[in-house]
């Protein structure tokens, strides 16, 4: 099982949320952390390469609020 964790101040990214160990590594290709003690995998919101992307459906915004580039 894996967890997706929201980045918050004070959280140690290398600390396993399952067993508390800091004996872990970050898999740069898979974008997740893996604990060497219990084999638990986890990632953070910010590990997602699309984390800062904002998907905006302009037609939906226009239908709700009358804003957008609907010409």
Find the range with the poorest average confidence among 8-12, 44-48, 63-67: 8-12
Please write the tens of the pLDDT for every residue from 30-62: 888 999 999 999 988 777 767 666 677 778 777
CA angle, 38 then 12 then 50, to 5°? 95
Tokens of 69: 């580039």
How far apart, in Å, do the first and last CA atoms of the chain sit? 47
pTM of the model as a whole? 0.59
Map out the domains of the chain as residue ranges: 2-65
Share of the chain above pLDDT 90, in %: 30
């Amino acid at each position: 099982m894996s967890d997706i964790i929201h980045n918050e101040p004070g959280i140690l990214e290398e600390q396993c949320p399952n067993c508390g160990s800091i004996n872990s590594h970050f898999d740069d290709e898979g974008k997740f952390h893996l604990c060497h003690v219990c084999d638990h995998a986890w990632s953070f919101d910010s590990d997602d390469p699309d984390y800062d992307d904002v998907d905006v459906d302009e037609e939906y915004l226009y239908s709700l609020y009358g804003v957008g580039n609907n010409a």
